Amino acid sequence: MARLLAFDDVHQAFGDEDVLRGISVGMDRTDVEVVIGPSGSGKSTLLRCVNRLTEFDAGDIRLDGESVTAMDVDALRRRVGMVFQGFNLFAHRTARGNVTLGLTEVRDIPRGEARRIADENLARVGLSAQADSYPAELSGGQKQRVGIARALAMEPELLLFDEPTSALDPELIGEVLEVMRGLAEEGMTMLVVSHEMGFARSVADTVTFLDDGVVAERGPPEQLFEHPERDRTREFLGELDT
């Protein structure tokens, strides 16, 4: 059976800057993969290539064996959810409204049913009480949980997280990681860019260290964190600790 997600020698350049220089990794259903790496190393670009917010230059990415470039882009995005660093909630819609938009417009679910699904997913992230609040009335942690519920409601096969907690105050990070941990336990496949070491250690199956557009090292968390093979990895982990 094909892997759920497979990168095959993916290249991407912006102007004359090579941001991804031959990425080949893969993950299976229920895998949780955490990507770490210095700023500008191409982590966001890597995620955005998967749902084609960035159209990559060369190589291939396959979702369940099918090349993403061959798929209808809207259909692809319906199957791959994304959670953003800056939340990107729709400011004019309530928490519930943020979740229902994709349901009614993309999945063509009738309004009443969409509301029910939205409330279910808001409950899943612990926000039943905030369903009628507007984004501006929510805390950062609550906003990000709405962002997660919005992605979940589409019943994606794969969830992408781009530094979901790095815009949050320290005391709000925990509640978001808790929700993500729960999803992992339920068997959600997740590709997560994050520098939350505790989370990576306890939840990830694999950690990938991306450096300057290439996979510099990859392995189970305990190996990568405790016994990195490369000096560059050790150096980077050292910087993270300080």
Partner 1 sequence: MDILPLQAGDWAFVGTNWWILMQGLYVTVLLTVGSLLLGFLAGFPGGAIEVYGRGPLRSVVRGVGVLLRGTPIVVLIVLFFFGVPWPDIGAVPLGGLLPLPAFEINGQALLASTAALGLRSAAYQSQVFRGAIRSIDEGQLEAARSVGLSKLEAVRHVVVPQALRRSIPGFQNEFTIVLKDTSIAFAVGLAELLTRGFELFTQPAGQTAVVEIILTVSAIYFVLTFLTNRTLDRVENRFAIPTGESS
Ligand X SMILES: Nc1ncnc2c1ncn2[C@@H]1O[C@H](COP(=O)(O)OP(=O)(O)OP(=O)(O)O)[C@@H](O)[C@H]1O
The only residue of 122, 151, 180, 184 in contact with partner 1, by rule CB under 8 A: 151
Q: According to CB under 8 A, which residues from 121 to 140 bind partner 1?
A: 133-134, 136-138
Q: Quick check: 231 binds partner 1 (CB under 8 A)? A: no
Which stretch in 71-79, 110-118, 181-189, 225-233 sits in contact with partner 1 by CB under 8 A? 71-79
Q: How far is the CB of 177 from ligand X (least distance, A)?
A: 18
Check if the beta carbon of residue 240 is closer than 8 Å to that of residue 226. Answer: no
The CB-based long-range contact list for 172-181 (8 Å cut-off, 24+ gap) reads 172/139, 172/140, 172/141, 173/141, 175/126, 175/141, 175/145, 176/141, 176/144, 176/145, 176/148, 179/124, 179/125, 179/126, 179/145, 179/148, 180/148
Which stretch in 14-22, 70-78, 176-184, 217-225 sits in contact with partner 1 by CB under 8 A? 70-78
Closest to 208 measured CA to CA, from 236, 178, 242, 180? 236
Q: Quick check: 16 binds ligand X (CB under 6 A)? A: no
Instruction: Supply the DSSP symbol for 204.
Output: -
The only residue of 4, 27, 32, 41 in contact with ligand X, by rule CB under 6 A: 41
Q: Quick check: 142 binds ligand X (CB under 6 A)? A: no
Question: Cα angle vertex 183, ends 148, 42, to 5°?
Answer: 65
- 7 versus 87: smaller Cβ distance to partner 1: 87
The only residue of 31, 34, 45, 158 in contact with ligand X, by rule CB under 6 A: 45
Contact flags string 190-229 toward ligand X, x per CB under 6 A:
----------------------------------------
Check if the beta carbon of residue 181 is closer than 8 Å to that of residue 199. Answer: yes
Helix (H, G, I), strand (E, B) or coil at 137: helix
Closest to 35 measured CA to CA, from 231, 216, 186? 216
Q: How far is the CB of 87 from partner 1 (least distance, A)?
A: 8
- 134 versus 225: smaller Cβ distance to partner 1: 134
Q: Quick check: 105 binds partner 1 (CB under 8 A)? A: yes
Closest to 185 measured CA to CA, from 54, 32, 79, 15? 32
The only residue of 12, 41, 44, 51 in contact with Mg ion, by rule CB under 5 A: 44
Q: How far is the CB of 91 from ligand X (least distance, A)?
A: 23
Cα separation, 150 vs 105, whole angstroms: 13
Per CB under 6 A, residues contacting ligand X are 14, 17, 19, 37, 39-45
